[in-house]
């Protein structure tokens, strides 16, 4: 089954815990609520800060918060921040040499599907994921 990386999944779960605007929260607190290992989440959050999805301030009065409202953050941004801009560029079959000139049997299919997946991720906001998470808790 094809899915986004575990890092992206952890990022979305943790970002869903950052719904209070303007208040910084500490990584260890977010990790506990999201059920994510704190040391791993700290590395993921560093990537999200670099990707302008989070704002982080060190110290007692610091913490981490969303850089903008959840409605303005999409899943493609999160995936690219965590896994890099080329997060989906690999061959579906894992072939090292697979391109338009030397294509594996799934190359043409995967080229089209990658574009569709990227478009869907760009259309899906963090706010929608938060809403789904809240509904699934009931």
CB 107 within 8 A of CB 98: yes
Architecture in CATH of 6-137: Orthogonal Bundle (1.10)
Domain positions in the chain are: 6-137
Residue-wise pLDDT for 94-124, tens only, equals: 898 999 999 999 999 999 999 999 999 999 9
Task: Using the structure block, give the residue that is written with the tokens 């079959």.
Answer: 93
pTM: 0.87
Question: Helix or strand or coil: residue 117?
Answer: helix
* Residue 130 CB partners (closer than 8 Å, separation 6+): 16, 19, 70
25 DSSP β-pair partners:
64
- Note the pLDDT of residue 1: 45
Residue-wise pLDDT for 28-77, tens only, equals: 999 998 999 999 999 999 999 999 999 988 877 778 999 999 999 999 99
Question: In this structure, what DSSP letter does residue 34 have?
Answer: H
């Amino acid at each position: 089954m094809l899915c986004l990386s575990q890092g992206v999944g952890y990022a979305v779960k943790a970002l869903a815990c950052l719904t209070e605007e303007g208040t910084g929260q500490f990584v260890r607190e977010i990790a506990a609520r999201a059920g994510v290992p704190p040391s791993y989440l700290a590395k993921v959050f560093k990537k999200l800060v670099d990707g302008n999805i989070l704002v982080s301030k060190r110290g007692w009065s610091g913490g981490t918060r969303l850089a903008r409202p959840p409605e303005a953050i999409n899943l493609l941004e999160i995936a690219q921040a965590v896994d890099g801009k080329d997060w989906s560029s690999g061959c579906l079959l894992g072939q090292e040499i697979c391109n338009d000139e030397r294509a594996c049997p799934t190359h043409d299919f995967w080229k089209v599907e990658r574009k569709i997946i990227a478009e869907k991720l760009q259309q899906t906001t963090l706010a929608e994921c938060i809403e789904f998470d809240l509904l699934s808790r009931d």
